[in-house]
Structure 1
Amino acid sequence: MILERFFNTAGPTIPADHYHIDLLHRLDWEEIQHLVASKRYFVLHAPRQTGKTSTLLAMMKAFNAAGHYACAYANIEGAQAARGDETQGIPAACDALVNAIDLYLDQPQLLNWYEEKKSSLAPQHLLTQVLQQWAKLSEKPTILLLDEVDALVGDTLISLLRQIRAGYGQRPDFFPQSIILCGVRDVRDYRMHQEGTEVITGGSAFNIKAESLRMGNFTEQETHALWQQHSQETGQEFDPAIFPELWEDTRGQPWLVNALGYEVTWKNRKARDRSHKISLTDYQEARERLIYSRATHLDQLSDKLKEPRVHSVISRILSTDDEETSDLKFDDLQYVEDLGLINLWPSVKISNRIYQEVLPRELTWPTQVMIANQEQAWYINDDHSLNMEKLLKAFQQFFREHSDSWSEGFDYKEAAPQLLMQAFLQRIINGGGRISREYGLGRKRTDLFIEWPLNPEEAMYGPLQRVVIELKILRGSLETAIEKGLEQATDYTQRVGAEETHLVVFNRDPATPWDQKIWQREETYQDRNLKVWGA
């Protein structure tokens, strides 16, 4: 069997094995060369699984091939196990550094020196001494690419940054000409606790930073070009209708782009026959499989959602409540953007359509599996359509009985009504139809778009029932909220081409009796009939 190149979803990119975009093309290579020539120390950061390590390795190869510098790449993530114990963490980082220099530059003199001296050097000076010795032994100015720096914590991280700063003035003869720190976060977001002090930010421990460069996602053209490499090498065609969907689903997030490519060209067994043209249906099936798989990349999102700084931002976006945004910090918004979870411009929103789908699912997964006595068959009409009136009445009763106790179980209490609704619907619709979500900071509502197959044999690829449910939190007058909600729901209904529209208004005032919160009525807006529900 001849192994073709394939879409890479794990580890550094190997150009001979993987479809890829020119690694140095993804950043301003000219600017990096200028910073190195100017003897600058700087930061390169990007979200996880966007190609940082692959790019750093390509940079090292390019610098060494040019012949002007001796460049080494070192991953010091292993020192994370020492936590804040610098007596363990710094030696672990130096072990990784010296081994990397020996591996990539074949400098046994440094390795021999290190093995002889390391036990006699204090951790507070060990890194400085190693870098000084490397620069002295090297015939060329040295460049250090230090990866996973932000994996370190506490005194280990403080000591590492300060030891680099201590040798800065000795460059390039007795210290690296240039050092590039790489990680998920910018150095300003390295937050380190030191005994007897408040939080120390990375910027104060590393104030020699000249620049902070962020490596972004693929562009739309790069996303298309990456997938076309598969067609060029195998002859297998993609339906052109796939590419607008691929872009909206991923917005160029490299892992998502590659993971969808791998799903649709390999995990889909019929596509292993390269004469099979990959259709939009094949793509949509691959997308659903990827989301349901809770792959490592997607599963890591749930851990990020637990971080207080992430919570403060994502909870506001999910709750779509303007009155809860006044205390948002711009540093937190930048941090969550650096993690790749949101875009700040032109408005604050979840960064791509797959994340928009995955984040609420991750937050409501325990709730979905715990919802009892709700079966899909109860809500199916004789013509196989969803009985939305019966479904929403059941939700009203469910919400009345469980909202107080179940909301307490949510980390994201600000968005509890919207999340409970989505958990309830997902429980019923999973395995049959599809729910798309649209929400964002300042929108003042959450739009849900349900697509339900009317022909079970053709599933999602036959005729569909299309339903919009708009969710709003009651603020002020009920009639004003309904009037605005009808306008917004109608606009969204027209955009997605739905035939049925519902507006759900949540009253979160604990003083209001449930008999006044639960109601239903019909409204007409722009010659369209809509149903309005209270909860």
Structure 2
Amino acid sequence: MPRWFNTAGPCKADIHYMLPPTVRLPSLERLIAQESYFVIHAPRQTGKTTAMLALAKQLTESGSYAAVMVSVEVGAPFSDDPGTAELAILGAWSDAIAIRLPQELQPPAWKFEDAGQRIRASLQAWAQTSPRPLVIFIDEIDSLQDKALISILRQLRDGYPERPKNFPLSVGLIGLRDVRDYKVASGGSNRLNTASPFNIKVRSLTLRDFNASEVEQLYQQHTEDTGQVFTPEAIATAFDLTQGQPWLVNALAKEIVEEMVTDVNVAITPGHIHAAKEILIKRQDTHLDSLAERLREPRVKAIIEPILAGLELGDVPNDDIQFVIDLGLCKMHALGGLAIANPIYREVLPRVLTVTPMASLPQIAPTWLTQSGELDTDKLLQAFLAFWQQHGEPLLGSASYHEIAPHLVLMAFLHRVVNGGGTLEREYAIGRDRMDLCLRYGKITLGIELKAWRDKRRDPMESGIEQLDSYLARLGVNFGWLIIFDLRAKALPIEERLTTEVTTTKNGRSVTIVRA
């Protein structure tokens, strides 16, 4: 039977390319032997469910435990009715356990008498009759909210002292977030802010991404099955763009081998990887779309906006920093500082934020193209100046991130340009005080540096020229634009401040300075 790269749901060894599912899990056997309750949290589609199903199977087959993974997701619609949530959850558990455990380890009939006590009572009855200690992995725990969530956490805490004879020996909660970020409507907050209802947890653990060697191993399985080769350079490019995020690693390969390069005699190159990246970003598959939706949350915006603007974070709570890391949006960079988790996400986030400004654009004729369809950068500059003078400031209100509203409107304009067959790449980071753009169209590579002149700051022109000089050197080109957005409260009207001048860097590169 042919195997495939999987981008939806748990992996199955008979039909999917996959790595040993538990290899990326932190060692849990010792925690389980110590009768510990714990939390496993990791972003969506990183392999949590696949790994925990496999671990439960291994533990059961060892003969030492009755281990099973169950889900509470069916209780999610009943957040304010714990009794109804319990009934839905126990029904789903019965079905899952019937499939995943042998007959001799099946539980007795669930206890349905007392609403608000059914989970605890049922697990107690099972532990008392089970020939082996119970290990229960509860998946999708943070799909529950409010009363239903707190009820189940408290029932687990209530039974905890009676383990292992009268309650499960070990319980793992599996989800996107650590306990303190579970959603509740109480106390003036929309989350717990504490581990209190589940303060019996010993550890909070996460599932790491693939390393470079594991990406190579995964892609090599396709080569072994089909003969189609991923060149070493292609594999390195895939790892660089994804940083090992499992869904992205699989999605790139799936797009290439199933849609782009179906002839197995054709080797996969870095060019194919980059082309697949563009397709994924433009298509906004569910995984990327769900990340983008997070950008609307105030606590996420408070971190992502300064990163995009190149500013310092300011007074951001530690929990909020951990939250964006738990979501997989950000990571702590090896050289220090918070950074977007991988280059693909780095492209996705600002591109998503330009959707509304793009929808707000007026119709713009492509006056920047020559008769042969090539990009004329001088005409592009004139088109931008005319656009900005007429539409720039009115469109700022269409951008949801105020600190980078001019950047987003400019990027929306440039996306109109590259829609004809080019690409737009972005570089930004905390504390850089700039955003760099690279517009590629045919033979033309245009480096653009965006700077913001804010109140109580000096004119950024001098530093901008120096920074752009370095950026152009990396791009291997000798000309570029420095665009300075004047965001000061006392800035001149747009008609008076919109000017251009050409200068030369100390290394002889030509820079057009645009004050906007």
Give the one of 17, 20, 25 matched to 1:19: 17
Contact 1:368 1:424 in 2 (8 A): yes
Q: Find the counterpart in structure 2 of residue 96 from structure 1.
A: 92
Q: Find the counterpart in structure 2 of residue 67 from structure 1.
A: 63
Contact 1:302 1:359 in 2 (8 A): yes
Matched, 1:56 2:52: yes
What CA distance in whole angstroms lies between the structure 2 residues aligned with 1:84 and 1:238? 51
Where does 1:42-191 land on structure 2 (aligned, <5 Å)? 42-106=38-102, 113-114=109-110, 117-118=111-112, 120-122=113-115, 124-191=116-183
What CA distance in whole angstroms lies between the structure 1 residues aligned with 2:237 and 2:204? 32
Query: For 1:521, what is the secondary structure of its paired residue?
Result: strand
What CA distance in whole angstroms lies between the structure 1 residues aligned with 2:235 and 2:117? 53
Give the one of 528, 531, 535 matched to 2:509: 528
Change (3 A) 1:90 1:498: farther
CA RMSD of aligned residues (A): 2.1
1:431-481 C-alpha deviation (Å, 9 max, x unpaired)? 41111111111111000011111xxxxxxxxxx211100001113688741
1:286-319 C-alpha deviation (Å, 9 max, x unpaired)? 2222222221111212211112221111111112
Q: Find the counterpart in structure 1 of residue 413 from structure 2.
A: 424
What CA distance in whole angstroms lies between the structure 2 residues aligned with 1:198 and 1:374? 44
Q: Find the counterpart in structure 2 of residue 332 from structure 1.
A: 320
Change (3 A) 1:64 1:108: closer
What CA distance in whole angstroms lies between the structure 2 residues aligned with 1:38 and 1:402? 65
What CA distance in whole angstroms lies between the structure 1 residues aligned with 2:13 and 2:358? 42
What CA distance in whole angstroms lies between the structure 2 residues aligned with 1:130 and 1:202? 27
Stretch of structure 1 that moved more, 475-484 or 166-175: 475-484
Q: Give the deviation of 1:356 after TM superposition.
A: 1.3
What CA distance in whole angstroms lies between the structure 1 residues aligned with 2:330 and 2:495? 39
Give the one of 329, 340, 343 matched to 1:350: 340
Change (3 A) 1:479 1:142: closer
Where does 1:29-40 land on structure 2 (aligned, <5 Å)? 31-40=27-36
Contact 1:467 1:499 in 2 (8 A): no
Q: Find the counterpart in structure 2 of residue 461 from structure 1.
A: none
- Deviant stretches of 4+, over 4 Å: 106-112, 195-199, 476-480
Q: Please give the TM-score of this superposition, normalised by the length of structure 2.
A: 0.94
Q: Give the deviation of 1:27 after TM superposition.
A: 1.7
Count of aligned pairs between the two proteins: 512
Q: Give the deviation of 1:75 after TM superposition.
A: 1.4
Query: For 1:437, what is the secondary structure of its paired residue?
Result: strand
Q: Which amino acid aligns with 1:488?
A: Q
Stretch of structure 1 that moved more, 490-499 or 181-190: 490-499
Which consecutive residues of structure 2, in runs of 5 or more, have no partner in the other structure?
A: none
Q: Find the counterpart in structure 2 of residue 456 from structure 1.
A: none
Give the one of 234, 239, 259 matched to 1:242: 234
Matched, 1:308 2:298: yes
Q: Give the deviation of 1:196 after TM superposition.
A: 8.7
Q: Find the counterpart in structure 1 of residue 329 from structure 2.
A: 341
Q: Give the deviation of 1:208 after TM superposition.
A: 0.7
Change (3 A) 1:397 1:497: same
Change (3 A) 1:103 1:383: closer
What CA distance in whole angstroms lies between the structure 2 residues aligned with 1:164 and 1:212? 16
Between the aligned residues of both structures, percent identity stands at 37
Change (3 A) 1:199 1:104: closer
Richer in helix (by share): 1
Matched, 1:488 2:467: yes
What CA distance in whole angstroms lies between the structure 2 residues aligned with 1:161 and 1:400? 58
Where does 1:497-516 land on structure 2 (aligned, <5 Å)? 497-512=476-491, 513-516=493-496
Q: Which amino acid aligns with 2:204?
A: S
Q: Give the deviation of 1:410 after TM superposition.
A: 2.4
Matched, 1:475 2:465: no
Give the one of 382, 388, 395 matched to 2:377: 388
Matched, 1:257 2:249: yes
Give the one of 361, 374, 377 matched to 2:364: 374
What CA distance in whole angstroms lies between the structure 1 residues aligned with 2:458 and 2:144? 54
Contact 1:84 1:157 in 2 (8 A): no
What CA distance in whole angstroms lies between the structure 2 residues aligned with 1:230 and 1:198? 45
